Structure 1
Amino acid sequence: MDIWAELAWEPSVNAIHNSVGILRLEAGECTDVIIAREVESVIESTCYLPENSIRVIVENAWVTLRGEVEWEFQRNALTQSVSSLTGILGFSNQILIRPEVRCNIAKLDIESTIKQRASHDAQDIVVEVSGGRVTLSGQVSTRAEQDLARQSAWASPGVEQVIDNLTVVNANEGHSLDM
């Protein structure tokens, strides 16, 4: 006899069958299937994600996201949205940034963005790109400029890692500030 047919005769039993087995539901308890549907709904409502770019795996209320996105903000948005869903006991973000950076273009884009957004000290920032890794070095006069340079690097598509070797130097005294 089919499992659903067996359960149909007993009205007090709520059950869902998945690859793990039969899960009996208590009032208010979430199942992997319900959690997976909620996660998929969050992903579908995120309009800036390519269709079918993220794979959802839910086992014992532990959610794992796998896939690739083009931007760091996409990965962060999914992490924040999914990890706050009700019923999740754990969360693993295995989403990768697509390593489709063309080094010369990305380097020029990052340098241009830094120079547009930062003060004249941005001329002292050296940008090096290797695959999806961006290294920033040189001197800036404030931590705000350092943050701006780091954010500008992360804003480029395909950036997987930003290494911040910038030194903050007090412009009035010429002294390096401790990080």
Structure 2
Amino acid sequence: MKYKRYSLALIIAVAALILSDGKLFASDTDARIIAAAEQSYVFKTYLKNDNIIVTAKNGAVTLTGSVVDESNKMLAKETVASLPGVTSVDNQLTLRGGLSASNSDTWLMARVKSTLLFHRNVDGMATNVSVENGIVTLRGEANSTAQKDLTTEYARDVDGVKGINNEMTLKNTVITPEKQAQDGKKIGESTLGQKLDGMNEAIDDASTSALVKTTLLLHRSTSALNTTVDTEDGVVTLGGKTGNAAEKDLTGKLVSDVYGVKRVVNNMVAATDGKTAP
């Protein structure tokens, strides 16, 4: 009888220890998730002026606070969702100043600005964007005609844009081989784009995935595609289906120009290929 009592006590003690260890493990994982989110490149650059509170319980993350626009709300969610250990994201972020109606000029201006900021071969920081009745006007300086034209194409492809008026001027500068060498660039290497604050630091994979996913949602050409995104050491692997080979190629090109992307592995399957997407 005494032996049975001892056995029962031992079982209870072991069970309590297992439960305790489980809670400690979950608590430790949650702490890592919160720290990773707050230290992510996206949170420290694009979202640094927003008021975002991250909480986690057993891998389920809740975002509260306020952000400046819908694009930042989307970006915060995608960043956290891409972190290891996250099982779900409850995005309760609100918009500062209230919600702008879809397709309103204010709403559209925020989407165009975000799109330009996510791409490295245009100068989103130096491009002024204004919108009136769906017509986007771009002002500022471009490094080249190619950069000016690319800015037009990116802005035109934002869902809701009815037309583009590009009044950007070209910078009156000549970049010599000596100047490129001083800047640490190889001769002929692209000098397009202005780096965001903190751009010199490494971009974590969760931030890269979030930037890619949000970029694809903002572009009209790719917003309807169900694209999967996986990033490892800056190499982005795309999966899912596209309507045709042109859509697949365009998706790959847009992604290759997103900050943090070192290389793109495009495993998307076009319907015209006659294959089945994994």
- TM-score range relative to shorter protein: 0.3 to 0.5
TM-score by length of 2: 0.28
Q: TM-score, normalised by structure 1?
A: 0.42
Say which structure is richer in helix: 2
